[in-house]
Amino acid sequence: MGFENGKLVRVVVRAVENATGDQQVNTFHYDLIDSNIFGEAANDPQALADFYRDNVLASFKAMYTASWTVQPVLVAQEKDPQNPLAARSEWVSGTAAAGTKSAPTDLLPKACCGVAALTTDHIGKRYRGRTFLGGSIGEIDQSAGVWQSGATTLWNTYMAAIPRTPDVATGNSQSTCKWVIYSRTQRAADLDPYASPVIAVVVRSKVRWLRSREA
C-alpha cells in the first residue's frame, strides 16, 4: 500500500482569479501499486497528470468564467510522515487556460460552495472524504439554501470525470492506480489502512460556506 509498495501521489487542480489572485483548489490522492512481475511496466505519474489534462480539466474549466485561469495539472508524491525527509518528485501537464463558463449575474460570495461526499469500504471519519466544489456561482444557482441544477449539473459532471482506477502503466501490466482517501493521521501512527479506495461520490444539495475561500 502507498508508501510501502508503490507511490502515494496527490493530484492538484487549481483555479486562480485573475483580478485578486484568489485560488480554489481540489486535491485527489492515488495509490500507485507497481507490478512485481519482471518486465511489466510500472505506473507512470506523468500519465496520470496527462489523463487529468485530457479528461478532467474541461469539466473543471466549465465551472469558472474567463475571469479565472485554470492552472496545469500537478501530480506530486505525498510526504510520508514515517519518512518526512525522503526525496519526492512531481509532474506537470497542460497549460494555463481561461474558464469557459458564461458569466452569471449577481455572483455569490466565493466562500459559498457545494460539497461532494466521498466514501470507502471502511467506517469512520478517517475513511471518508469531502471535495469542496466552487466556481463562478450566481444567485440563480441556489434557492432557499439549496443548490439548483445549474450548479449541480456542472459539479456532478466534474466529479464523474475523476478517474477511480485510471490505467497509467504502458502496455499489458498488472500495475494498479486507485483513487483513495488518504489519512495522514493513520499513516503517522503507522496504522493500516491509511489509503482506502473511493467507492461512492455524492454531491450534496445544501449550500455550504468554506471560510478559507472568503474574500
Query: Residue ranges of the alpha helices (H) in the chain?
Result: 2-5, 45-55, 57-61, 149-161, 184-188
Q: How confident is the model at residue 213 (pLDDT cuts 50, 70, 90)?
A: confident
Q: What is the pLDDT of residue 36?
A: 86
Q: What is the pLDDT of residue 138?
A: 96
Pairing outcome for strands 6-17 and 68-70? antiparallel
pLDDT exceeds 70 at position 208? yes
pLDDT exceeds 70 at position 18? yes
Contacts of 10 (CB under 8 A, 6+ apart): 27, 28, 29, 30, 75, 76, 78, 182
Q: What is the arithmetic mean of pLDDT over 168-183?
A: 94
For residue 47, CA distances in Å to 21, 191, 200 come to 29, 30, 24
Q: What is the pLDDT of residue 1?
A: 65
Query: Apex CA 160: angle with CA 156 and CA 120, to 5°?
Result: 105
pLDDT > 70 fraction of the chain, expressed in percent and rounded: 99
Of residues 35, 5, 55, the one with CA closest to residue 173:
35
Locate 209 and state its grid cell: 460556506
Q: What is the pLDDT of residue 63?
A: 98
C-alpha span between 155 and 142 (Å, rounded): 14
Q: What is the arithmetic mean of pLDDT over 17-32?
A: 97
Q: How confident is the model at residue 77 (pLDDT cuts 50, 70, 90)?
A: very high
Decide: 124 and 176 in contact? Cβ < 8 Å. Answer: no
Query: Apex CA 57: angle with CA 52 and CA 181, to 5°?
Result: 55
Q: How confident is the model at residue 165 (pLDDT cuts 50, 70, 90)?
A: very high
